[in-house]
A and B are shown apart, each in its own frame.
Chain A
Amino acid sequence: MNVERHQAVVVGGGPAGLAAAIQLREKGIDDVVILEREHRTGGILRQCIHDGFGLTRFGETLSGPEYAQRFVDRAEELGIPCLTDTTVLTLEADRTLTASGPAGLRKIQGDAVILTMGCRERTRGALAIPGSRPAGIYTAGVAQEYINLRNLMVGREVVILGSGDIGLIMARRMTLEGAHVKGVYEVQPYPSGLPRNIEQCLNDYNIPLHLSHTVTDIHGRERLEGVTISQVDEHFRPIPGTEERVDCDTLILSVGLIPAGDIANGSGLAVDGRTKGAFVDEHYQTNLPGVFSAGNVLHVHDLVDFVSLEAEALAAAAAEYLKQGSLPPCPLEVKAGKNVGHVIPQRISGKRGFTLSLRVRQPMKKVTLTVTQNGREVLRRKFPKALPAEMIQLAVAAEKLETTGDLEVSVE
Chain B
Amino acid sequence: MTRTFTCIICPNGCEITAQYEGTRVDAIEGATCPKGADYVRQELTDPRRNIATSILVEGGELPLVSVRLDKPIPKKDIFRVMEAINQLKVTAPTVIGQVVLPDVCGLGANVIITKNVAAL
Q: Which residues of A contact B (CB under 8 A)?
A: 46, 49-52, 55, 61-63, 65-66, 69, 147-151, 173, 176-177, 194-196, 198-200, 204, 302-303, 384-385, 390
Contact = CB atoms under 8 A, between A and B. Distances in A.
Contacts of A69: 96, 115-116
B15 A65 contact: no
Contacts of A196: 6-8, 10-11, 13
Given A65-B96, A194-B11, A199-B8, A148 B64 contact: yes
Interface in B45-91: 49-54, 56, 62-64, 66, 68, 75, 78-79, 82
A195 B6 contact: yes
B64 A151 contact: yes
Q: Which 10 A-B pairs have the closest CB atoms?
A: A195-B13, A49-B66, A65-B115, A63-B114, A199-B6, A196-B13, A196-B8, A151-B63, A200-B8, A195-B6
Interface of B: 5-8, 10-11, 13-15, 30, 32, 49-54, 56, 62-64, 66, 68, 75, 78-79, 82, 96, 114-116
Main DSSP-derived SS at the A contact region: mixed
Contacts of B30: 384
Given A149-B62, A200-B49, A302-B11, 12 more contacts: A49-B114, A50-B52, A51-B68, A63-B52, A63-B114, A65-B114, A65-B115, A65-B116, A148-B54, A151-B54, A151-B64, A198-B6
A194 B8 CA distance: 10
B64 A63 contact: no
Nearest to B56: A151
29 contacts: A49-B52, A49-B53, A49-B68, A49-B115, A51-B50, A51-B52, A52-B11, A55-B11, A63-B52, A63-B66, A63-B115, A66-B115, A69-B96, A69-B116, A149-B62, A176-B78, A176-B79, A177-B53, A194-B11, A194-B13, A195-B6, A196-B6, A196-B8, A196-B10, A196-B11, A199-B8, A384-B14, A390-B11, A390-B13
